[in-house]
Structure 1
Amino acid sequence: MVARVLVPMDDSAMAAAALEFALETFPAAEVTVLHVAGAPTSFMGGAMSLAMSDDIDSAVAERAEPVFDRAQEIADDHGVEIVTDVALGSPAKTIIDHAEGFDLIVIGSHSSSLASRLLLGNVAETVTQNAPIPVTVVR
């Protein structure tokens, strides 16, 4: 029996589809939506703006807000409550590290940005290969 499901979400359609799948397939499970704000890297871009922020915790929470708003809309459509969690770090590693205590990870097959997939690798693939619990990839 699947009692606790971890659904990593960014702002992509694939992540929204993963949450829809989790809620439809496991209606009695506790679903936690995890948003991972990327760790600061040598690449310029979104993660770099976190590193430049005076209050990194507030910046991470602000970045997660639209993702959680979308997740809550999806949950409301299904008439269920979800738990939300935000973390800072490498997305794949952070998702894997958060897997303890869950029965299943449901993840979208890829993010919305081709550039992020090429530069950072495929998060879903890394999670699938390294997670300590079963992973369902939704596309």
Structure 2
Amino acid sequence: MLSRILVPMDDSEHAEHALEYALDNHPDAEITVLHVVGVPSMMMGDAVGLSLEDDINEAAAERATPVFERARKRADERDREIDTVVGIGHPARNIIDRADDYDAIILGSHGEDWTRATHRFLVGNVAETVSKRASVPVTIVR
């Protein structure tokens, strides 16, 4: 039985499906939703924007708020509670670095920018990278 599950979420529908799957199939597990901000891009957009903030952690938390609100709504619909945590930087690296603190990772098959060639080139497929490198079992949900 899984007691602690990490569910990385971005703005994608796939990520919401992953959270719903975790909530529905693991009713006794503690679920933590991770949102990573400051993703590298060709123009360094989000990463540069964060670095210009006076308080990077506060800015990251603010950017994660909409994702966490949707996650809490999904949990509330199932009469469940979730924990939330914000990561800064590369999504796959953030997920993999936290893996040892959980029994499993459940994530969506594609993120919000999965069709953009530049995103796939620079960041790679997060789900694929996590499934290959994580130290705990990984479930990928469509």
Q: What RMSD over aligned residues (CA atoms) do the two structures have, in Å? A: 1.5
Contact 1:4 1:29 (8 Å CA) reproduced: yes
Deviations 1:50-78 (A, max 9, x none): 12222211110111000100000000011
2:131 — aligned with what?
Answer: 128
Structure 1 runs of 4+ aligned residues shifted over 4 Å read 39-42
* Number of positions where the alignment pairs a residue of Structure 1 with one of Structure 2: 139
Question: In 2, distance between residues paired with 1:44 and 1:86?
Answer: 19
1-structure distance, mates of 2:40, 2:109 = 23
Q: Distance in 2 between matches of 1:43 and 1:133?
A: 33
CA–CA separation in structure 1 for the residues paired with 2:140 and 2:124? 16
- TM-superposition CA deviations, 1:1-46 (whole Å, max 9, x none): 1111100011110100000000001011000001111355663322
Deviates more, 1:42-51 or 1:8-17: 42-51
Gaps in structure 2 of 5+ consecutive residues: none
User: What is the TM-score when the length of structure 1 is the normalising length?
Assistant: 0.93
Q: Counterparts of 1:122 and 1:19 in 2: how far apart (Å)?
A: 19
Identity %: 54
Partner Cα distance (1:55, 1:77) in 2? 33
Report how far residue 48 of structure 1 moved: 2.0
For 1:100, what is the secondary structure of its paired residue?
helix
SS at 2:84 equivalent: strand
After TM superposition, the structure 1 = structure 2 runs for residues 66-105 of structure 1, keeping only pairs within 5 Å, are 66-105=66-105
Structure 1 stretches lacking a partner, 5+ long: none
